[in-house]
Chain A
């Protein structure tokens, strides 16, 4: 069997990539994709634990996470479109009307 640690390591790397992209990237859509990446990394961790401990709770929770991700994607894209309509740009640094 593949040891649990490998799955968790993969999950951690994916999560780290997601965080890094979330912090560094300037395109709003790419930031959202990184958020999805983080969520999927977490899903992977849940499933790995569920398989390791032969406990279905992990798998069920993955469903919840997926539902939340889907809803969030829908709302987030709507926001992106609204922002694009007003600011004419997808550069998150330009969405700064509340700046000091």
Chain B
């Protein structure tokens, strides 16, 4: 099936644009950048078509291309793995990725480094596709690290700005902490399973019994993999890089930090389900972290002023939902939300970019307002996405979020506590998203006449001309419309049975997770508190009610009684400040981790060891050589009588030696 084309085509685009792009015209750069990604996307569709024709026994379809590591008993190959899960991810990545590439042609048209942007974007596609299609953990880790690299390059794209390059570094370093956990997990796998191939690892894992005591190989593996996922998918405690990553251009935020890279952690957990299914303690930790993150990020997102920050915290929160779903072993629900979230979150970011572009660089919502008359297409598409993320029937977000909340309650690993937190977070989600909606598009325009005179208020554009508010060009609007269609209709593939659908999505992914669904079916049949269809409807109605309540509160505070937020802020000053300052977590990390490490590096490692010991050794030995030679040089004094003296001394020494020999 030539799966290798899917990741390697964008790599070719990255190399061409990277090496020669500086000399190309912008049109050529765009053509190269879009062309290779489009080719990869089309090939993915061809592969999908052929996949549909495969008999069930031929799935997963594995292609091995070349040996890579062969060390004693351990070997790893370059190979790709195609099953429903990786096909789904490949479709999402190439599809949404291509739309964002198209959008970037318009968005980045006035920026410098155009070729560099597309080269990095294509490079990211290559690594992400390697990650999702790899057939062993080692190649997946290559993709894992590579998307981290691409993220660093793209966040720090405007590298002349201090905040951007710091944000890039922060993202990479925090990711590395997660990768440390991931690597230790890989080492454990090599030690105990002897291989990193998916088939090998999952085969060995499935022979092990369920670990109920809470500690054991599979639990440890699960927790280590979770640490990796926390770094990549921005969960507690490693989420801090994602809000800062908004320093990158908006298409980057849409692609990497909403739709694809941050979902790699969720994909990895779903892929490793054979391990997690047998480690309930690890699953519990996953679920707790997921739902805690979802709630935590939603509270912060409520009071942010920068439109992209709100969306960033929203992403963290929605990722928390996906991780929660995996934590109750409802992997297909998590993947469903991953897919719908890719649609509406990418759309939200791209539309936000359209708003920012229309306002000439303004990102602060306090200076927006009343824009729906000026930028109608952006308004309507963003409206679709906002309703979708709030989980309103019949948009996509409703079905996926509802599925997760239902499973959080009813799964054998679920608990009503997860559901309760999830519903409350849904309320908060609806609230802050509609707050964003009302602040941006309704009311009076609160902007300053010439926003480009405020360069550091989060503005990232370098437009020189003053801007009247104008709609974005078609090349930016078409992806918005397409994503809006997907946000509205994308959930209809997963309508649950209780609402009359046949849940195609879950059945599609079922063979991947099948041993779990088998055991869950047994457990569900055996457990006395078997959930019924009626209770699912009740839960759905409650969740929808919570979302509507959030919308109503936002309507009240940001449309009807605009004075209320100010008064509330005055009354609850401390609480507001804690939320606005993001619970001071960044400051906490800076004080407890960053400051000691930096100081240790500066005083001990740099001044003492590097400059003192290493440089000192080299310098001192050179100095010693110079001093010795200084002394010895005085023998050559130019004074003949001293030469005569040395000759006489030498002669006397030789005679003494001879005498001593003779005496002996």
| Residues of chain A whose beta carbon lies under 8 Å from any beta carbon of chain B | 19, 22-23, 26, 31, 92-93, 95-100
Contact = CB atoms under 8 A, between A and B. Distances in A.
Interface centre among B636, B638, B640, B645 (most CB of A within 10 A): B640
B646 to A, nearest CB: 10
B465 interface: no
A95 B639 CA distance: 8
Contact of B638 (A19, A31, A99): A99
B637 A99 contact: yes
B27 interface: no
Interface in B648-662: 648
B649 to A, nearest CB: 10
B638 A96 contact: yes
A79 B638 CA distance: 17
A97 B639 CA distance: 9
B639 A19 contact: no
B207 interface: no
A93 B648 contact: no
B23 interface: no
A97 B648 contact: no
Given A23-B645, A31-B644, A93-B640, 16 more contacts: A19-B648, A22-B644, A22-B648, A23-B644, A92-B640, A92-B641, A93-B641, A96-B639, A96-B640, A98-B638, A99-B637, A99-B639, A100-B633, A100-B634, A100-B636, A100-B638
A68 B648 CA distance: 19
Interface size class of B (residues with CB under 8 A): 10 to 19
Nearest to B641: A92
A57 B8 CA distance: 94
6 contacts: A22-B648, A23-B644, A26-B641, A96-B638, A98-B636, A99-B637
Contacts of B648: 19, 22-23
Contacts of B644: 22-23, 31
Contacts of A22: 644, 648
Contacts of B638: 96-100
Nearest to A94: B640
Nearest to A34: B644
Nearest to B652: A19
B641 A23 contact: yes
Interface string B610-639: 000000000000000000000001101111
A62 B43 CA distance: 105
A35 B516 CA distance: 108
Contacts of B633: 100
A90 B367 CA distance: 100
B351 to A, nearest CB: 82
Nearest to A24: B641
Interface of B: 633-634, 636-641, 644-645, 648
A48 to B, nearest CB: 18
A100 B637 contact: yes
Nearest to B638: A99
A42 B433 CA distance: 113
A5 B235 CA distance: 103
Contacts of A95: 640
Interface centre among A23, A93, A97 (most CB of B within 10 A): A23
Nearest to A28: B640
Q: Which 4 A-B pairs have the closest CB atoms?
A: A99-B638, A98-B638, A96-B638, A92-B640
B73 to A, nearest CB: 70
A86 B633 CA distance: 27
Contacts of A93: 639-641
A92 B640 CA distance: 7
B654 to A, nearest CB: 14
A98 B633 CA distance: 12
Contacts of B637: 99-100
Contacts of A97: 638
A33 B638 CA distance: 22
B379 to A, nearest CB: 88
Nearest to B640: A92
A99 B636 CA distance: 8
A13 to B, nearest CB: 16
A78 to B, nearest CB: 17
Contacts of B634: 100
Contacts of B641: 23, 26, 92-93
Contacts of B639: 93, 96, 99
A98 to B, nearest CB: 4
B655 to A, nearest CB: 10
A97 B640 CA distance: 10
Contacts of A19: 648
Nearest to B645: A23
A97 B636 CA distance: 12
A96 B645 CA distance: 15
Contacts of A100: 633-634, 636-638
A93 B637 CA distance: 11
A76 to B, nearest CB: 13
Nearest to B639: A96
Nearest to A19: B648
A92 B642 CA distance: 11
Contacts of A92: 640-641
Contacts of A98: 636, 638
Contacts of B640: 92-93, 95-96
B653 to A, nearest CB: 14
B483 to A, nearest CB: 84
A61 B639 CA distance: 34
A100 B637 CA distance: 6
A19 B649 CA distance: 10
Contacts of A31: 644
A25 B523 CA distance: 116
Nearest to B649: A23
